[in-house]
Amino acid sequence: MNKTLLLIICDFLLLNLLALTRWEKAEPQRALDTAAPAATSAAASPAVNADMVELMRVSLEDEQSARDRLAAQLGSTQGTLVEREKALAQAEQQRTQLQGALATTTANVKELERKYSDATNEAFLTKEQLAKMQRELEERRLEAERQKAELARMERQNAEARQRIENLNVAVRVAEQEKQLLGQNLEQARAQVEVERAERAKVQEQTTVLAQGVGQLAERSTELTKEIRDNRPVNPNTIFGEFLANRVQLQVTIQKPGLFSPSFRERDSQTVLVSDGARAYALMHISDTPFAWNWENPPNYQKIAGRLTFGATNAPVAELLFLDLDPRVIVVPVSEDLAARLGAKIYRVAADPFKFPDVVLVRAEDGRYGETQVRIDAAHRGYLRVDNRISTRLFGEIAPKRGDLVFAKTGEIIGIMVNSDYCAVLGNFSAAASFQLGENIAQTGTEAVFRSLSARLTRLGPKLQ
């Protein structure tokens, strides 16, 4: 039953009670008259009480139905929100509180029924008691409305929770799909990495092959460059200019006995430093020294000294060698330290002196140079025959002469002219004889050495003498 209708009925009953109650003082003489209305009122009271009880019973049944529906809704809400255990536990606690409040309300209603029954049985209720009951009923109504609003709020929270759960489920499904997609992408990336790794290894292998090819090509290019350089003829002007920039001065001083006092002789010559690949030497012809050319009756020299000069560097030499190749070819060994201090170019001996048919002759004593042809003489190995009838006209004519330096067209040195027809080809620097040089070194047996060298020269034959 509607609570508003219940209140209206209660108001109606109250008004009836007020209307039937006699508030004025009873008069003794009218006792008989008042008895009849009292009896009438007593007769009407049972019918009114029966209606009130029926109304209260119907109201309690409605309240019980509402409480049952509320409990069913709470049970359904609790079953739906399993995943939201914390929030549902709080809702369950609130439901328990509401049930307690409902139980309290029910107890109060029963208490009111009891009081109302007592009041009905007694048939005397004061206006203050009825007002108090009305206030309590209003408070219960407000409490019920508040509980209804709270239940509605909990329903909304449960709906929101279900929506959040659904959203979370959707997010989980999306995450699973993204995870699967990422796994597929990862597999594709791994396959692509493997392909790229294989391609990189192949490229690296090709790069290694190309690098080896480039290295071989560079080596071949270096060899070709060297071969081109070795086979490319150099201008005679360049060869002579290089000679002028690197010529060294060799001074030889000798002392021999005289009629009344020792005789001194000194000779300066311009030459170059040559190398056999192991050691450097200063090269000259015996005609560029102060030694007597008449070896048939050579003197016995007492002292022999030598000195090399290049620029501002001046240093003594320690030894003089007559080559086994030809006794007229003399070299002075130069140490590495002295060569470094001099700083002049050290000419390499030509590895193939027969590569070009022409050679460059350089004469240091008068600064003349030019080209001429050479030929191989099978009868005299170790020598080149120089054609002294043909000369190249470059700053005037030049004819071969003993002591001339012979250069290959590549700029390397071939040898030195031993006479006007033949050039001794350098290559073997072994000595047939040697002298120790120094200002305080006394020489002994020089006469025998020169006689031995003269005998070697005689055995070379008339063309080479």
* Tens digit of each residue's pLDDT (9 = 90 or more) over 385-420: 987 765 444 444 578 889 999 999 988 999 999 998
Residue 229 has pLDDT above 70, yes or no: no
Q: For the ranges 224-228, 325-329, 388-392, which has the lowest average pLDDT?
A: 388-392
Q: For the ranges 66-75, 287-296, 324-333, 444-453, which has the lowest average pLDDT?
A: 66-75
According to the model, what pLDDT value does residue 222 have?
72
Mean pLDDT of the region 124-148: 82
**Residue 336 contacts residue 295 (beta carbons within 8 Å):** no
Q: Which residue has the higher pLDDT, 267 or 82?
A: 267
- Cα 359 to Cα 11, 181, 329, distances in angstroms: 153, 84, 19
**Residue 383 contacts residue 423 (beta carbons within 8 Å):** yes
Tokens 């219960």 belong to 140
What's the residue count for the chain?
465
Q: Which residue has the higher pLDDT, 111 or 281?
A: 281
**Angle, to 10 degrees, between the axis of helix 127-231 and the axis of helix 3-20?**
160
According to the model, what pLDDT value does residue 33 have?
45
**Percent of the chain scoring above 90 in pLDDT:** 22
**pLDDT confidence band for 171 (50 / 70 / 90):** confident
Residue 344: what residue type?
A
DSSP track, 189-231: HHHHHHHHHHHHHHHHHHHHHHHHHHHHHHHHHHHHHHHHHHH
Mean pLDDT of the region 11-34: 62
* Tens digit of each residue's pLDDT (9 = 90 or more) over 408-464: 998 899 999 999 899 999 988 999 999 988 877 777 788 888 888 888 888 888 888
Cα gap 407→405, rounded to integer Å: 7
- Average pLDDT over all residues of the chain: 80
Cα gap 361→396, rounded to integer Å: 13
Q: For the ranges 150-159, 289-298, 378-387, which has the lowest average pLDDT?
A: 289-298
Residue 393 has phi, psi (to 5 degrees) of -90, 100
* Tens digit of each residue's pLDDT (9 = 90 or more) over 266-294: 999 999 999 988 899 999 999 899 987 66
Which tokens hold the place of 209?
């092959």
Cβ neighbours of 237 (radius 10 Å):
12
Which tokens hold the place of 446?
């020089």
Cα gap 110→102, rounded to integer Å: 12
Cα gap 120→51, rounded to integer Å: 12
Which tokens hold the place of 381?
């190995």
According to the model, what pLDDT value does residue 267 have?
92
Which tokens hold the place of 102?
């409902």
Cα gap 195→189, rounded to integer Å: 10
Which tokens hold the place of 163?
């929506």
Helices (H) and strands (E) in the chain, counts: 7, 16
Cα gap 378→177, rounded to integer Å: 97
According to the model, what pLDDT value does residue 78 have?
61
Select from 365, 249, 256, 347 the least CA-distant residue to 307: 249
Burial of 259 (0-12, 13-18, 19+ CB in 10 A): exposed
Give the highest mean pLDDT range of 202-216, 277-291, 363-377. 277-291
According to the model, what pLDDT value does residue 404 have?
93
Cβ neighbours of 361 (radius 10 Å):
26
According to the model, what pLDDT value does residue 442 have?
75
Can you tell me whether residue 405 is helix, strand or coil? strand
- In the sheet that holds 263-271, the strands lie side by side as 263-271, 248-256, 303-310, 313-316
